[in-house]
């Protein structure tokens, strides 16, 4: 018998399952994709049933591959989703993803109002359109019938959990990314609920992240072809799970991810507040906070750079990335003073400016398309360094960054990041760190000892390059400060 635990990461573009044995070794994985729709500017929606289907497919395909049911299944999940549902958990509208910005002006109103900072300190979530708090207010102000008819406002994780157990339950971690949960009292926040115009009865029952259940409903048991003894652990949000899964629990380490977007996160016993940069504070468990900042403009901008500044259109995916990266090898550190602000999709931390935009500055005739590519990568790394320095000023110094995400496939990009930040980088976990973190929560719940992560590879910074990048970073900051008003003028 092959005893294993299944970690399921419900992401924005796909759901991924990773099967790990009790020694911590991955023994199988599966992944199923689903579409995202943008029906109007600022809207980003998904169909909850398509995500549920991917979830079911992940489980059945793993069981088919391995030939056994897992001992337990545990969850990691994308944050800030919102689905208004009726009593039977039937969606009354499509799901809004984290990237749905339709409530932008509501967020602005709350942020600049009298209660903005108090609310941020109580609930830990940046006051931003991504927050379910702002999304609920948008529904109340714009589709009142739907708002009035909603029995509960839930996330995609609660939707899937309800399919399994016919119960409305949510873990502290996903709740802490809603903007409605008091991260100090560990309860729904009365003020935030008042502001949303709802009562806490319209939200799910709160449980800790190691909460365990078995005996799934008959329909799900049959559809998933599971052993009836399989246990389910509710787990946490993807950011919190990723810190756990990449060993970023110790003081002095931070997790840094560049996937489609990007983030820097540390783990601590207290929240880290910074109202201007609105660091987030999400709960991994009852006393552990994962704090940090997320950027919009990560790998998605690199993808744009490759499409725009190379003629790699004939190639796809990895091939296009690799040959684009080959071209920048001979370009000097600092791209011969070509500076790039990567804010193509507006930006979250630390500038929180939806009207910011992308900029190439100081273009000279000597600059080639390869300079634009290198300056592009440097700009993405400066944006993350900006978040890192903000976190460092409010916490202890960070010595090591545990890195993950698609960019780790590129040694040159990874070295640029090491040189810009001046930190040692460590690749701790190549499998999906969020799914692994969910598995560790299941191991804790089941009292199985958590295996030690192996450090796969370390990358040291070149401190001479770091000195040079420090000067360029000052220019990067100055450039945004000086251009901000003009960006707002053109994007008003
Ligand atoms: P997500 O999980 O957010 O969907 P990934 O972690 O898979 O994203 O990262 C995708 C990004 O990683 C791409 O947009 C691209 O910028 C970058 N990427 C993927 N493959 C490579 C590669 N071989 N070299 C450099 N960057 C890559």
Nearest alpha carbon, ligand 1 atom 18: 406
260 falls within a domain: no
What is the mean pLDDT of the segment spanning 39-67? 96
The enclosing domain of 13 has a CATH number of 3.30.420.40
- Band (pLDDT 50/70/90 cuts) for residue 1 is low
So what's the pLDDT on residue 314? 59
314 and 232 in a common domain: no
> How many A from CA of 471 to the centre of ligand 1?
28
So what's the pLDDT on residue 24? 86
Nearest alpha carbon, ligand 1 atom 13: 299
pTM across the whole model: 0.92
Q: What is the number of the ligand 1 atom nearest to the C-alpha of 14? A: 4
Pocket probe mutation, ligand 1, options 242, 295, 299, max atoms within 8 Å of Cβ: 299
pLDDT digits (tens, 9 = 90+) for 60-100: 999 999 999 999 999 999 999 999 999 999 999 999 999 99
131 falls within a domain: yes
> How many A from CA of 115 to the centre of ligand 1?
39
Residue 429 scores a pLDDT above 70: no
Residue located via tokens 């009354």: 92
- Out of 222, 240, 258, a domain closes at 240
Give the N- to C-terminal CA distance of the chain in Å, as an integer.
62
Nearest alpha carbon, ligand 1 atom 12: 406
Q: How many angstroms separate the CA atoms of 322 and 53, rounded?
A: 33
pLDDT digits (tens, 9 = 90+) for 225-270: 999 999 999 999 999 999 999 888 888 999 999 988 999 999 999 9
227 and 314 in a common domain: no
> How many A from CA of 166 to the centre of ligand 1?
37
- Residue 409 sits in which domain range? 299-424+462-491
292 falls within a domain: no
Q: What is the number of the ligand 1 atom nearest to the C-alpha of 12? A: 4
User: Which residues are bridge partners to 15 per DSSP?
Assistant: 10, 32
213 and 81 in a common domain: yes
Contact 407, 299 (CB under 8 A): yes
What is the mean pLDDT of the segment spanning 108-133? 95
Residue 120 scores a pLDDT above 70: yes
Q: Which stretch of 11-20, 187-196, 454-463 has the lowest confidence by average pLDDT? A: 454-463
159 falls within a domain: yes
Q: Which stretch of 121-125, 225-229, 451-455 has the lowest confidence by average pLDDT? A: 451-455
> How many A from CA of 263 to the centre of ligand 1?
14
Q: What is the number of the ligand 1 atom nearest to the C-alpha of 317? A: 20
Nearest alpha carbon, ligand 1 atom 8: 259
272 falls within a domain: no
> How many A from CA of 317 to the centre of ligand 1?
9
219 and 304 in a common domain: no
- Please tell me if the CB atom of residue 410 comes closer than 6 angstroms to any atom of ligand 1: yes
pLDDT digits (tens, 9 = 90+) for 388-427: 999 999 888 999 999 988 899 999 999 999 999 999 999 9
What is the mean pLDDT of the segment spanning 373-379? 98
Number of C-beta neighbours around residue 313 at 10 A: 9
308 and 160 in a common domain: no
So what's the pLDDT on residue 287? 87
Give the mean pLDDT of the chain: 94
What is the mean pLDDT of the segment spanning 304-324? 81
- Please tell me if the CB atom of residue 321 comes closer than 6 angstroms to any atom of ligand 1: yes
- Band (pLDDT 50/70/90 cuts) for residue 319 is confident
Residue 4 scores a pLDDT above 90: yes
324 and 199 in a common domain: no
Q: What is the number of the ligand 1 atom nearest to the C-alpha of 413? A: 25
- Please tell me if the CB atom of residue 98 comes closer than 6 angstroms to any atom of ligand 1: no
> How many A from CA of 454 to the centre of ligand 1?
23
So what's the pLDDT on residue 452? 78
> How many A from CA of 407 to the centre of ligand 1?
5
438 falls within a domain: no
What is the mean pLDDT of the segment spanning 26-41? 94
- Band (pLDDT 50/70/90 cuts) for residue 56 is very high
- Please tell me if the CB atom of residue 300 comes closer than 6 angstroms to any atom of ligand 1: yes
- Please tell me if the CB atom of residue 271 comes closer than 6 angstroms to any atom of ligand 1: no
So what's the pLDDT on residue 304? 94
What is the mean pLDDT of the segment spanning 29-37? 94
214 and 73 in a common domain: yes
- Out of 240, 275, 308, a domain closes at 240
- Please tell me if the CB atom of residue 299 comes closer than 6 angstroms to any atom of ligand 1: yes
Q: What is the tally of structural domains in the chain?
A: 2
- Out of 240, 257, 277, a domain closes at 240
Q: What is the number of the ligand 1 atom nearest to the C-alpha of 299? A: 16
364 and 217 in a common domain: no
- Please tell me if the CB atom of residue 440 comes closer than 6 angstroms to any atom of ligand 1: no
Q: Return left, alpha or beta for 199; rule: phi > 0 is left, psi -120 to 50 is alpha, else beta.
A: beta
Q: What is the number of the ligand 1 atom nearest to the C-alpha of 301? A: 16
> How many A from CA of 302 to the centre of ligand 1?
9
365 falls within a domain: yes
88 falls within a domain: yes
309 and 231 in a common domain: no
224 and 83 in a common domain: yes
- Please tell me if the CB atom of residue 405 comes closer than 6 angstroms to any atom of ligand 1: yes
The residue with greater pLDDT, 333 or 246, is 333
Nearest alpha carbon, ligand 1 atom 2: 259
So what's the pLDDT on residue 432? 83
144 and 59 in a common domain: yes
**Three-class HEC string of the chain:** CCCEEEEEEECCCEEEEEEEECCCCEEEEEEEECCCECCCCCCCEECHHHHHHHHHHHHHHHHHHHCCCCCEEEEEECCCCEEEECCCCCECCCEECCCCCCCHHHHHHHHHCCCHHHHHHHHCCCCCCCCHHHHHHHHHHHCHHHHHHCCEEECHHHHHHHHHHCCCEEEHHHHCCCCCEECCCCEECHHHHHHHCCCHHHCCEEECCCCEECCCCHHHHHHHCCCCCCEEEEEEEHHHHHHHHCCCCCCCEEEEEECCCEEEEEEECCCCCCCCCCCEEEEEECCEEEEEEEECCCHHHHHHHHHHHCCCCCCCHHHHHHHHHHHCCCCCCCHHHCEEEECCCCECCCCCECCCCEEEECCCCCCCHHHHHHHHHHHHHHHHHHHHHHHHHHCCCCCEEEEECHHHHCHHHHHHHHHHHCCEEEECCCCCHHHHHHHHHHHHHCCCCCCCCCCCEEECCCHHHHHHHHHHHHHHHHHHHHHHHHHHHHCC
307 and 208 in a common domain: no
So what's the pLDDT on residue 316? 64
């Amino acid at each position: 018998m092959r005893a294993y635990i299944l970690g399921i990461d419900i992401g924005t573009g796909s759901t991924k399952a990773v099967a790990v044995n009790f020694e911590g070794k991955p023994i199988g994985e599966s992944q199923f994709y689903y579409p995202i729709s943008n029906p109007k500017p600022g809207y980003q929606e998904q169909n909850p049933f398509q995500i549920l289907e991917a979830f079911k497919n992940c489980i059945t395909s793993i069981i088919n591959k391995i030939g056994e049911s897992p001992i337990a299944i545990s969850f990691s999940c994308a944050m800030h989703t919102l689905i208004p549902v009726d009593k039977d958990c039937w969606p009354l509208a499509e799901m809004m993803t984290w990237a749905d910005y339709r409530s932008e002006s509501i967020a602005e109103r709350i942020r600049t109002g009298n209660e903005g900072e108090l609310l941020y300190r109580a609930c830990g979530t940046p006051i931003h359109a991504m927050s379910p708090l702002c999304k609920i207010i948008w529904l109340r102000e714009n589709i009142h019938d739907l708002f009035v008819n909603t029995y509960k406002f839930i996330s995609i994780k609660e939707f899937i959990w309800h399919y399994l157990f016919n119960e409305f339950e949510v873990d502290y971690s996903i709740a802490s990314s809603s903007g409605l949960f008091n991260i100090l009292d560990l309860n729904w926040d009365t003020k935030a609920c008042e502001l949303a115009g709802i009562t806490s009865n319209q939200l799910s029952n709160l449980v800790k992240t190691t909460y365990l259940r078995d005996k799934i409903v008959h329909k799900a048991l049959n559809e998933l072809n599971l052993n009836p003894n399989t246990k389910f652990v509710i787990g946490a949000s993807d950011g919190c799970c990723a810190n756990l899964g990449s060993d970023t629990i110790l003081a002095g380490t931070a997790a840094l991810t560049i996937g489609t977007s990007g983030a820097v996160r540390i783990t601590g016993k207290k929240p880290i507040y910074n109202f201007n940069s609105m660091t987030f504070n999400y709960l991994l468990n009852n006393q552990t906070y994962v704090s940090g900042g997320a950027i919009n403009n990560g790998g998605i901008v690199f993808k744009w750079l490759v499409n725009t500044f190379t003629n790699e259109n004939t190639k796809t995916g990895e091939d296009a990335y690799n040959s684009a990266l080959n071209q920048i090898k001979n370009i000097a550190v600092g791209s011969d003073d070509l500076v790039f602000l990567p804010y193509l999709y507006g930006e979250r931390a630390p500038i929180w400016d939806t009207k910011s935009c992308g900029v190439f500055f100081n273009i000279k005739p000597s600059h080639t398309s390869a300079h634009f590519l290198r300056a592009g990568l440097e700009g993405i790394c400066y944006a993350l360094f900006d978040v890192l320095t903000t976190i460092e000023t409010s916490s202890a110094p960070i010595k090591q960054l545990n890195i993950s995400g698609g960019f780790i496939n590129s040694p040159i990009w990874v070295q640029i990041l090491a040189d810009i930040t001046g930190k040692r980088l460590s690749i701790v976990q190549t499998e999906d760190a969020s799914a692994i973190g969910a598995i560790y929560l299941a191991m804790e719940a089941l009292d199985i000892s958590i295996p030690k992560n192996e450090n796969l590879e370390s990358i040291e910074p070149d401190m001479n390059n770091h000195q040079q990048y420090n000067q360029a970073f000052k220019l990067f900051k100055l450039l945004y400060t000086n251009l901000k008003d003009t960006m707002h003028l053109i994007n008003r």
